[in-house]
A and B are shown apart, each in its own frame.
Chain A
């Protein structure tokens, strides 16, 4: 396999994340694994941003609104050379700049500090609105969890983006259908999810959030409507490690030594 292929890089990111979360005994490995394929395609094939251009005024913006997926974000930034892989060993350790929720803190490639849910879309909308006012072609990508769609601010922003015709907003929802204490269906039903967004005036796209070709095609598709786009990514929480997939406990649990070895073996 080509080492520059997003599929190869996604595997590498998964291994980095497994190590980061195990060593720091931190949470959210399942939430990180479910977005890794999307992140890898974004950084390989979609975003106009690189370690050399992360401050360029021409760059595309990416915001990880689900700040608890942070391990995936930092590992992705390391895999694409924004930060060193060595720095990942400091994740969640005293005196590291890598906190356990996305923290800009001067970390190259991080646009917005997140962690409290429902903040990413409003800020992304503001960035997109500023680009519209300045007639600039930068695109704004923001990745939310499905649980974040419980937040009122997400829907306030849904109205705002549609009203202001922010067709430069690309919102991806990591629809893994598991939230904090149970399934989305049990806790706070989102269905009919795509109909809700259509009713709010959005351009709605549904993808398999682990199919790299599908992600790449849809994220690069030119938006010919004047509507903001939501990409509902059907994903699997814990994707990549069999015993973690679709298991609520891996929203919080950190692997023990035995589980780490088992997971590492599976990732190869």
Chain B
């Protein structure tokens, strides 16, 4: 991406050891380490975007999101600045690192802001498609990633990440909607337990594919949403909002039963890795 676009700048808040060096070596004039100062970094990114650059900002979980929330709101969203925030460490990616490093409120907070697009890809193919998609829009984008190496869910290239993407689609009237890399965790449970439900990934939670949601709602008596995130205001909340909008507009005539799986006001007292925390959701038991 750097090669084809000399106007593309990559900034980091002094994180990305062994990840960013290659870019830095290849494009030294397009790389800025802004130091451990995320609020200034977003402001600088905004200024560069206002002067014509496309700026990618890289950091971990809450550091490029909540730490600099007002900079995202005022400097980026208010000005519709062309800045793409890459946040590594979605959910409990850094589970054992403690609550400071748990990215479990960002979706709720970021999706409340105007002008921004929020991507939460589930695998490497969705990630690639999300980055390509973000480049199509001259606006702030928030791209919520795991730390890489996640299992591949999709067989081929993704045509449009803006659509709700089927992972398993069958005649079941029970559908599961997920976002982010927990999708693969759910997929594995369905396969192991031989549960014949449909499973869909929603890679862009703002703006959301309302037509895609509508089709799923029409064929489903029951919908589960799964997210590695706080429940209030999160992915499941967004789905509920969309379902009620569809019902209010008369585009659907029945509201399915929706059960949301996620974390509620959760500050762990004991250490866990990512899958340990995912296990706390008891997805298996709920789906059975």
Contact of B71 among A114, A122, A125, A130 (CB under 8 A): A122
Any chain A CB within 8 A of the CB of B117? no
Any chain B CB within 8 A of the CB of A124? yes
CB pair A130 B46 closer than 8 Å: no
Contact of A157 among B9, B43, B46, B48 (CB under 8 A): B43
Q: B37 contacts which chain A residues (CB < 8 A)?
A: 156, 159-160
Residue of A with least CB distance to B44: A126
**Restricting to B1-53, which residues have a CB under 8 Å from any CB of A?**
9, 29, 32, 34-35, 37, 39-40, 42-53
Contact of B50 among A115, A118, A126, A163 (CB under 8 A): A126
Q: A118 contacts which chain B residues (CB < 8 A)?
A: 39
As a 0/1 sequence over residues 145 to 174 of chain B, the CB contacts with chain A under 8 angstroms (1 = contact) are 000000000000000000000000000000
With the chains together, A115 CA to B53 CA distance in Å? Answer: 24
Contact of A130 among B53, B70, B79 (CB under 8 A): B53
CB pair A156 B39 closer than 8 Å: yes
CB pair A160 B74 closer than 8 Å: no
Q: Would you give the shortest CB distance from A250 to chain B, in whole angstroms?
A: 26
- The number of chain B residues with a CB under 8 A from chain A is 26
Given A104-B79, A113-B74, A119-B75, A160 contacting B46 (CB threshold 8 A)? no
Given A122-B39, A130-B51, A131-B51, A160 contacting B71 (CB threshold 8 A)? no
With the chains together, A127 CA to B44 CA distance in Å? Answer: 7
Interface residues on A, range: 20 to 34
CB pair B47 A129 closer than 8 Å: yes
Any chain A CB within 8 A of the CB of B266? no
Given A113-B74, A129-B48, A130-B53, A153 contacting B32 (CB threshold 8 A)? no
With the chains together, A248 CA to B50 CA distance in Å? Answer: 36
Q: B50 contacts which chain A residues (CB < 8 A)?
A: 111-112, 123, 126-127
As a 0/1 sequence over residues 101 to 125 of chain A, the CB contacts with chain B under 8 angstroms (1 = contact) are 0001000000111111011011111
- Most chain A beta carbons < 10 A, residue from B39, B44, B46, B48: B44
CB pair A122 B47 closer than 8 Å: yes
Contact of A126 among B29, B43, B74, B78 (CB under 8 A): B43
As a 0/1 sequence over residues 67 to 110 of chain B, the CB contacts with chain A under 8 angstroms (1 = contact) are 00011001100110000000000000000000000000000000
Q: A133 contacts which chain B residues (CB < 8 A)?
A: 9, 29, 53
With the chains together, A159 CA to B37 CA distance in Å? Answer: 10
Residue of B with least CB distance to A124: B47
As a 0/1 sequence over residues 166 to 195 of chain B, the CB contacts with chain A under 8 angstroms (1 = contact) are 000000000000000000000000000000
Q: B51 contacts which chain A residues (CB < 8 A)?
A: 126-127, 130-131
Given A112-B79, A130-B53, A125 contacting B32 (CB threshold 8 A)? no
CB pair A126 B48 closer than 8 Å: yes
Residue of B with least CB distance to A113: B78
Given A104-B79, A159-B35, A130 contacting B40 (CB threshold 8 A)? no
Any chain B CB within 8 A of the CB of A144? no
Q: Would you give the shortest CB distance from A118 to chain B, in whole angstroms?
A: 8
- Most chain A beta carbons < 10 A, residue from B43, B45, B52, B79: B43
Q: B42 contacts which chain A residues (CB < 8 A)?
A: 122
Sample 12 A-B pairs with CB under 8 A, ordered by A number. Answer: A113-B79, A125-B40, A126-B44, A126-B49, A127-B47, A127-B48, A130-B51, A133-B9, A133-B53, A153-B39, A156-B39, A163-B35
Could you list which residues of chain B lie within 8 angstroms of chain A, going by C-beta atoms?
9, 29, 32, 34-35, 37, 39-40, 42-53, 70-71, 74-75, 78-79
User: Lowest 3 CB-CB distances: which A-B pairs, in order?
Assistant: A126-B47, A122-B43, A156-B40
